[in-house]
A and B are shown apart, each in its own frame.
Chain A
Amino acid sequence: MAYGVKLLIWGERACFTRPEMKVERVSYDIITPSAARGILEAIHWKPAIRWVIDRITVLKPIRFESIRRNEVGTKASAGSISSAIKKGTTEGLHNIVEDDRQQRASTILKDVAYVIEAHFEMTSKAGSDDSEGKHLDIFNRRARKGQYFHAPCLGVREFPAYFRLIEDGEPPLAIDESLQGEKDLGYMLHDFDFADEVIPHFFRARMQDGVVEVPPLKSEEVRA
């Protein structure tokens, strides 16, 4: 029984924000394992399983574009919501966007396509009726039909991700020539470890002819 999955994802725009450049967002060159996991989870996920990204193949040249938008800077404060609940009225509970406007530029990726290769592991929450085969079947069935729990996105929700399951034995897809050779993408976010506190882990992403091998989260190459 096949144990891993291969998914082709693509979209017009993407933004996998670098944590060090979050205010005026700057995207990583390629999708992070964390964002790839999010896309798989949008299609199928249960607490019984944990997706592990094994390999990311980049199919299209890496190109950027800049876009500036009016955004707001604050979050809804829990205190004011509580007091509104107590008072029993929404009056005065809102955010006036003109007073809280921030124009921020984002440097985003254009026209991306990736192949995500991944498998999943069973977690301690798996019950007796959770088997790997069952979850794999559910995922494959959904991905084939284009079903999802919520629309997957490429880093942020305004950039939808389209996807297609790559069946066993399909010939490999063409990788753009500009990606040939070795390219060091530097330290890149691998994923967060949610086990105890939320701790980001980083790894050194190296792209060889368009392919980035993703080490396991708990391996030596990955630093928290």
Chain B
Amino acid sequence: MNPITNRYEFVFLFDVANGNPNGDPDAGNLPRIDPETNQGLVTDVCLKRKIRNYVSLEKEDSPGFAIYMQEKAVLNNQHKKAYEALSIKPEDNKLPKEEAKARELTQWMCKNFFDVRTFGAVMTTKVNSGQVRGPVQLAFASSIDPVVPMEVSITRMAVTTEAEAEKQSGDNRTMGRKHIVPYGLYRAHGFISAKLAERTGFGEEDLDLVWRSLINMFEHDRSAARGEMSARKLIVFKHDNPMGNAPAHLLFDAVKVKRVEGEEDTPARSFSDYEVSVDSESVPQGVSVEEKL
């Protein structure tokens, strides 16, 4: 697979209705909130996890698309496909032995593991080539407007232990809590470097898979805590050379998300309460805008 030859930036919009997109371990699993602005947050690693999970579902361990950082829930080894060993020769035999060895390991990992090729990985070799920087870089996603998490108390008609049952003299009820965001539209920014893709062998097919996973990842991540999450917009800026043709911040500024006119003072409760516009006029020469979703 030939590595990609264009630089990309992307704006990814997704929303949540009555769910918790990303809990904060510091705050008893409340949805993450930026304490200064009350905007909701979703960390980069949360989104990367979902991309990995989607890829392992779609590719089911086909050669070259294994996932190194796995969750047990997605282990799918019953469908192990016949694996074709890839023989790799180190490109440069002039390297010192240790470095050549490390490079060989790294190359093999990049070839076989989608997440290593895409996001990078750190390996325990002391040489510099034991570290892979992947081409795809994601920043924290934050909500367009401040979100107000709600605490929902729920009851369960069962208890876990005998002791509890005795204490309640057979009433057998426990209370639980859920934290939800009634509605939040989140915006994430991402970067894809063609030059780092050269080093890990991240190709066009991988790129399409990244777009597919962004669009579909919430469809396979349903759970009691998440509520309804959906990918809403994926706007990709493609530069016609590997170094790019425009500053990233200008491109991101071209994507504006506003409340529908006249509704600014009411709380948003659905995606139709927002207007997304892409100002293609302000996008410099040599950058094309693609709306993948």
CB neighbours (8 Å) of B249 from chain A are 146, 162
The B-contacting residues of A in range 102-161, CB under 8 angstroms, are 103, 105, 110, 142, 145-151, 153, 157-160
Contact A91–B83 (Cβ < 8 Å): yes
Name the contact of B247 in the complex, choosing from A82, A146, A159 (C-beta under 8 A): A146
CB neighbours (8 Å) of B133 from chain A are 150, 157
Contact B83–A88 (Cβ < 8 Å): yes
CB neighbours (8 Å) of A89 from chain B are 83, 85
Q: B289: CB under 8 A from chain A?
A: no
Per-residue CB proximity of B63-74 to A under 8 Å, as 1/0?
A: 000111111100
- A192–B132 alpha-carbon span in the complex (Å): 20
CB neighbours (8 Å) of A158 from chain B are 43-45, 137-140
Contact A98–B69 (Cβ < 8 Å): no
Smallest CB separation, A7 vs chain B (Å): 12
Name the contact of A153 in the complex, choosing from B45, B69, B137 (C-beta under 8 A): B137
Smallest CB separation, A47 vs chain B (Å): 13
Q: B35: CB under 8 A from chain A?
A: yes
> Which residue of chain B lies nearest to A147 when distances are taken between CB atoms in the complex?
B243
CB neighbours (8 Å) of B71 from chain A are 96-98
Q: A193: CB under 8 A from chain B?
A: no
Per-residue CB proximity of B92-125 to A under 8 Å, as 1/0?
A: 0000000001101100110011000000011111
Contact B85–A75 (Cβ < 8 Å): no
Q: Main SS of chain B's interface residues?
A: mixed
- A180–B124 alpha-carbon span in the complex (Å): 45
- A89–B84 alpha-carbon span in the complex (Å): 8
Contact B248–A162 (Cβ < 8 Å): yes
Of the four ranges (under 10, 10 to 19, 20 to 34, 35 or more), the interface on chain B belongs to 35 or more
Given A77-B124, A145-B246, A150-B135, answer yes or no on A69-B130 (Cβ-Cβ < 8 Å): no
Contact B70–A68 (Cβ < 8 Å): no
Contact B243–A142 (Cβ < 8 Å): yes
- A89–B112 alpha-carbon span in the complex (Å): 9
Contact A160–B248 (Cβ < 8 Å): yes
Smallest CB separation, A125 vs chain B (Å): 16
CB neighbours (8 Å) of B193 from chain A are 148-151
CB neighbours (8 Å) of A178 from chain B are none
Contact A94–B66 (Cβ < 8 Å): yes
- A196–B61 alpha-carbon span in the complex (Å): 42
Name the contact of B124 in the complex, choosing from A70, A76, A97 (C-beta under 8 A): A76
- A151–B122 alpha-carbon span in the complex (Å): 19
Given A76-B123, A77-B124, A91-B80, answer yes or no on A65-B70 (Cβ-Cβ < 8 Å): no
> Which residue of chain B lies nearest to A81 when distances are taken between CB atoms in the complex?
B105
- A69–B43 alpha-carbon span in the complex (Å): 8
The B-contacting residues of A in range 46-70, CB under 8 angstroms, are 65-70
Q: A195: CB under 8 A from chain B?
A: no
Contact A75–B123 (Cβ < 8 Å): yes
Q: A13: CB under 8 A from chain B?
A: yes
Q: A219: CB under 8 A from chain B?
A: no
Q: A175: CB under 8 A from chain B?
A: no
> Which residue of chain B lies nearest to A100 when distances are taken between CB atoms in the complex?
B69
- A151–B237 alpha-carbon span in the complex (Å): 14
- A85–B90 alpha-carbon span in the complex (Å): 13
Given A75-B124, A147-B243, answer yes or no on A82-B105 (Cβ-Cβ < 8 Å): yes
Q: B36: CB under 8 A from chain A?
A: yes
Q: A174: CB under 8 A from chain B?
A: no
Contact B125–A78 (Cβ < 8 Å): yes
Contact A147–B124 (Cβ < 8 Å): no
- A28–B91 alpha-carbon span in the complex (Å): 40
CB neighbours (8 Å) of A149 from chain B are 193, 195, 243
Contact B244–A68 (Cβ < 8 Å): no
- 6 nearest A-B pairs in the assembled complex, by CB-CB distance: A146-B247, A88-B85, A151-B191, A150-B193, A147-B243, A158-B44
A-B contact pairs, 28 of them (CB 8 A): A12-B139, A13-B140, A65-B34, A66-B26, A69-B43, A75-B122, A76-B123, A76-B124, A81-B109, A84-B108, A88-B85, A90-B113, A93-B68, A96-B71, A97-B70, A142-B243, A145-B245, A146-B250, A147-B244, A150-B135, A150-B137, A151-B191, A151-B248, A157-B133, A158-B139, A159-B140, A160-B189, A160-B248
